[in-house]
Amino acid sequence: MKTAFVLFLSLLFGYAAHAQQYMTREGYVRFYSSTPIEDIEAINNQTTALLKSTGEFAFRVPILGFRFEKALMEEHFNENYMESTTFPNGSFEGRITDWNEGLKDGSWHNVNASGSFTIHGKAQQRDIPAKVRWDGEKWTIESNFLVKPADHDIEIPSMVSKKIAESIEVTVEATLNPR
């Protein structure tokens, strides 16, 4: 996890001066688990994201920043499943693979982000679909994808397994301003 954080910081602060950077510290991440027994939703508005003008992209989500409707759900999420004190952040570090200057036409474009997606201390190479839009000043990024807790060694006890979906829907929205 320390290596991933150091890599994130180097992406965040170590770019060459010739590349423009766009950033936010107020990105939105929502996850949603739906089962016939219970729906679980949490929202986090503390996501940090950085986009380099070359298409390199990174985001970091503080796990303790997720807010639930029920305080007990939040407590169980942080203590029993995500072990938030041991694994305080989720992250993605990679690049938008189909990055090009044509994306700056003011329209929404479907793109793919390819890189290392880390949750619960376990990294996975992922290709994540996204949409981007340039408005002449800033980038807006939106994405919706699925995450399987089992893929990141998140253990769900059998007594509650029917309350938590096998795949969790994740929604990301961020507006990145010049830095």
Q: What is the 3-state secondary structure (H, E, C) of 42-87?
A: EEEEEEEEEEECCCEEEEEEEHHHCEECCHHHHHHHHHHHCCCCCC
What would the pLDDT profile of 22-43 be if each residue is shown by its tens digit? 999 999 999 999 999 999 999 9
- Total-model pTM: 0.86
**Position 11 pLDDT exceeds 60:** no
**Position 140 pLDDT exceeds 90:** yes
Residue ranges per structural domain of the chain? 2-11+20-128+135-140+154-178
**Position 100 pLDDT exceeds 70:** yes
**Position 1 pLDDT exceeds 60:** no
Report pLDDT for 15: 45
What is the rounded average pLDDT of the residues 158-171? 91
Quote the CATH superfamily of domain 2-11+20-128+135-140+154-178: Lipid/polyisoprenoid-binding, YceI-like (2.40.128.110)
**Position 14 pLDDT exceeds 80:** no
